[in-house]
Amino acid sequence: MWVESVLVVGDQILDAAELDDWQITVGACDLAAPRMLLAHVTVTEDRASCAAYSGLTILALQGNHARRTGVIDLARPLLTLPASAQQILRNWLIERRWPAWARAALSVRTLLGAAEGPIALAEAARQWMLPLATLSGAALAERLPTIRVGDRHLIYHATIGEALGRGVLQPQRGRPRQRRA
């Protein structure tokens, strides 16, 4: 298990190390004033070394860039985010580790605007009208990240669309064609 931290300023993701030379005090942040977000993402691995985003804590931070001073609200982590911040963080998590996003805890996905729960792989095959053998083969080959629960594989509905968009799945039987450079 490890934690990755990022700073969201406007529509940009910055390294949380940007705050190292800031003078930060703990206190309440004015919700009406512009603020930055400090996001701490917990990543865990299962026995098969498959990573998943298992926790997300977001703290409000108000600061003055010129003076390098700020106030952080440690007492009240944010439970809701504006849609723009959700999209920025969701995109960053997907770009960073798509398989970890595909296996993310429902609480992480819900905080970032993707509240639909996981379904069984067979149900996903029916909903997407894809052969179950194609999805099962891709899951076993680790081309399609799934959540393992005993001998069952669960998957988020959106993960199938993401996998099709990435070209790791195809709508018919067999292996996806290799892309030529």
Q: pLDDT tens, position by position, for the chain (181 residues)?
A: 999 999 998 889 989 988 888 999 999 987 766 689 999 999 999 888 889 999 999 999 998 877 888 899 999 999 999 999 999 999 999 999 999 999 999 999 999 999 999 999 999 999 999 999 889 989 988 889 999 888 889 999 999 999 999 888 876 665 556 666 5
Tally of structural domains, the chain: 2
Residue span of the structural domain in which 125 resides: 116-181
- For residue 18, how many other CB atoms are within 10 A of its CB? 14
2 and 86 in a single domain? The answer is yes
Residue 105: DSSP 8-state: -
Q: How far is CA 70 from CA 36, 67, 115, 125, in A?
A: 10, 9, 32, 50
Residues 91 and 159 in one domain: no
Do 76 and 29 share a structural domain?
Answer: yes
Residues 92, 127, single domain; the answer is no
Give CA–CA dist 113/58, Å, rounded: 14
Last residue of a domain, one of 99, 132, 165: 99
User: CA–CA distance from 120 to each of 109, 132, 142, 148 (Å)?
Assistant: 17, 11, 16, 10
Token couple for 85: 């911040």
